[in-house]
């Protein structure tokens, strides 16, 4: 089993890395994952509150769930892992972060190049007329109503996340695939690599001759093909990589090591 020192050596030798992050990246910020025994889908049927069919059928019901979820995401703070990736990017060790997460924590931590392949809570489109509303404007509306309305046509806005039954944003997915093919090191953090098509990105890297490093608490389908495999919390592992590469300490070092 690999260590933070092995990760640091791989980043130093093969970087700048492209990073792929999943729900496990944000659980250390207090955001539940989806598929574990205590995850979000253990409590609610995703096809009732998080599918495009559910939204088209009853958008108000979807918003009764999503409105509370957005509040929880915004209450969370970036953890040491998020801050470490931002520090690695500033130092030239990370080229871009491809994330399955919708919570904006990478951007809030300071990462500059973030590819949101599952969408995010950044913007909210109107399916009726094509207009979009910002997070700030939607939050203002949610103070007085259960669902935000399009300022152009009055229809209920859709959360800007990829729902079950929807395709991933083509431009974001195309860039993610290109980054995966071009990088010499794909660093996977907190992803089970079970959800397609994002789960295919490590294969793109390997076929192009790049290497794979994985930091995850549980097994993934690519463990046997990883050059470095680390079982451990992403926050403390990535904070240690930052230290080993001589980039100083992070604000959340204490949190990461606790």
Q: Which domain CATH number covers 239?
A: 3.40.50.1220
> What integer is the mean pLDDT of 142-162?
95
41 is a domain residue: no
Is residue 87 over pLDDT 60? yes
| Percent of the chain's residues with pLDDT above 70 | 90
DSSP the chain: ---HHHHHHHHHHHPSEEEEE-THHHHTTT---SSSTTSGGGTS-HHHHSBHHHHHH-HHHHHHHHHHHHHHHHH----HHHHHHHHHHHTTSEEEEEE---S-HHHHHT-S-EEETTB-SSEEE-TTT--EEEHHHHHHHHTT-SS-B-TTT-PBPPPSBPPBT-PPPHHHHHHHHHHHHH-SEEEEES--S-STTGGGHHHHHHHTT-EEEEE-SS--TTGGG-SEEE-S-HHHHHHHHHHHTT----TTHHHHH-
Q: Is residue 30 part of a domain?
A: yes
pLDDT band of residue 255 (cuts 50, 70, 90) is very low
- Quick check: is 48 in a domain? no
Model pLDDT, residue 105: 96
The catalytic residue positions are 118
% of the chain residues with pLDDT over 90: 77
The predicted model gives 90-108 an average pLDDT of: 96
Tell me which residue range forms the domain holding 198: 4-35+78-120+168-257
Q: Is residue 44 part of a domain?
A: no
Is 153 a domain residue? Answer: no
Task: Write out pLDDT tens, residues 181-228.
Answer: 999 999 999 999 988 899 999 999 999 999 999 999 989 999 999 999
156, part of any domain: no
Lowest mean pLDDT among 49-58, 100-109, 170-179, 245-254: 245-254
Q: What are phi and psi of 114, to 5 degrees?
A: -120, 125
From its phi and psi, is residue 76 left (phi > 0), alpha (psi between -120 and 50) or beta?
A: beta
> Is residue 189 within 8 Å of residue 21, measured between CB atoms?
yes
Domain contains 45: no
Both tokens of 68, joined, read 């509370």
Better pLDDT: 256 or 5: 5
Please give the tally of structural domains in the chain.
Answer: 1
pLDDT band at residue 31 using 50, 70 and 90 as cut-offs: confident
Confirm whether 216 is domain-assigned.
Answer: yes
If one compares 22 and 33, the residue with the highest pLDDT of the two is: 22
Whether residue 251 has pLDDT greater than 80 = no
């Amino acid at each position: 089993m690999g260590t933070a020192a092995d990760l640091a050596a791989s980043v130093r030798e093969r970087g700048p890395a492209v990073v792929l992050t999943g729900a496990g990246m944000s659980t250390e910020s207090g955001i539940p994952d989806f598929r574990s025994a205590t995850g979000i889908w253990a409590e609610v049927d995703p096809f009732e509150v998080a599918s495009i069919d559910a939204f088209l059928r009853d958008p108000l019901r979807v918003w009764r769930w999503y409105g509370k979820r957005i509040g929880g995401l915004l209450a969370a703070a970036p953890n040491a892992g998020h801050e470490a990736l931002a520090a690695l990017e500033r130092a030239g060790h990370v080229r871009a972060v491809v994330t399955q997460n919708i919570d904006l924590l990478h951007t809030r931590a300071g990462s500059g190049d973030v590819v949101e392949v599952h969408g995010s809570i950044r913007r909210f489109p109107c399916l009726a007329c094509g207009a979009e509303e910002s997070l700030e404007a939607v939050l203002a509306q949610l103070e007085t109503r259960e669902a935000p309305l399009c300022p152009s046509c009055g229809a209920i806005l859709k959360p800007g996340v990829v729902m079950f039954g929807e395709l991933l944003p083509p431009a974001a997915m195309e860039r993610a695939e290109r980054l995966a093919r071009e990088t010499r090191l794909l660093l996977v953090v907190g992803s089970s690599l079970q959800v397609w098509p994002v789960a295919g990105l490590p294969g793109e890297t390997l076929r192009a001759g790049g290497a794979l490093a994985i930091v995850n608490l549980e097994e993934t389908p690519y463990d046997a093909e990883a050059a470095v495999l680390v079982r451990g919390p992403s926050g403390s592992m990535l904070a240690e990589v930052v230290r080993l590469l001589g980039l100083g300490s992070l604000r959340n070092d204490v949190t990461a090591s606790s």
